Amino acid sequence: MTQIMGYIKSAALEDKGFVVLDSYAEEVDPKEWLDLEYVDWKSSGDTRFAPLASAFGDIECNGFWNHKPPRTDKDGVWIESQTKIAPTLTRRAQEPGANVGRCRVIELQPNTYGDCLYNLHQDDNNRLNPDGTGWVVRGFFNLTDDKDSYFVLRENRTDPSIEYRIALPAGAQLIVDTQRLWHAATHNGTEPRYCLITSWTSGPELDAYIEKYHGTQDVPNYEVSQDVLDAGYAEQARRDAARAAYYAAKGQQEKIAMSEA
Ligand SMILES: [Fe+2]
């Protein structure tokens, strides 16, 4: 008889799938993200990534399961040439004491709410993750002061009835079960947005960290006018239909790819 053990998960994320932590209050020198080495890695829009930890300590962003031997997104190897440029970011990623898999800074070019809805995806965080061990979730630390931008989280990609919109000023910190929630960022602005993304293993260390920084799921939705919401819904539907038609014409099964980011 097989006993199903299930993964170790955070109770704080059980209801809505995310928590917002206290805002990070310290100034961080923008050199910590601007001077890093970036690689092109398309995910959820026009993006580049600067890894701080990767599968084997190389400057690349591939899922750990795409390496040999394949493994789950745990035990990332810190990249010294990057961590010495970003000591504060590295310290922040390590602060919970939870196991870190991938850790990287994302650079996202400005986009619209409609782009964001089209880009909504789930992450493949727990491939090859052994049953009975900690579920991998992701921390997002917004670095740039993107006062007009917000993270969008949905339980269902095309259903706006459950949509959480989290404001992204500098210092915003949230932890998201990104394998459960569809997610992407709306970045209104003229300059790129930078955000530190860390894969953490759930467990007592992460729970203590969430508690220490007063993690809560009860945050107001970033306010967006009904006009913008409606235009976004229409844009997502239009582009989804265009994508479906494209794959139909090629005689292929349409897939919404699970993203690495
Ligand atoms: Fe993602």
Encode 92-125 in three state secondary structure: HHHCCCCCEEEEEEEEECCCCHHHHHHHCECECC
Contact 181, 122 (CB under 8 A): yes
- H/E element holding 236? helix 226-249
3-class DSSP state of 215: coil
CA of 223 to the centre of ligand 1 (A): 22
Compute, in angstroms, the gap from residue 3 CA to the centroid of ligand 1: 31
Q: What is the pLDDT of residues 48-68, one digit of tens each?
A: 999 999 999 999 988 999 899
CA 71 to ligand 1 center in whole angstroms: 19
Which whole number is the average pLDDT over 228-256? 88
Average pLDDT, the chain: 93
Residue owning tokens 């993203």: 259
Q: How far is the CA of 51 from the centre of ligand 1 (A)?
A: 15
* pLDDT of 254 higher than 70: no
3-class DSSP state for residue 249? helix
Angle among Cα 82, 94, 166 to the nearest 5 degrees reads: 95
Distance 245 CA to ligand 1 centre (A): 25
CA distance 94 to 75: 12
CA 190 to ligand 1 centroid distance, Å = 22
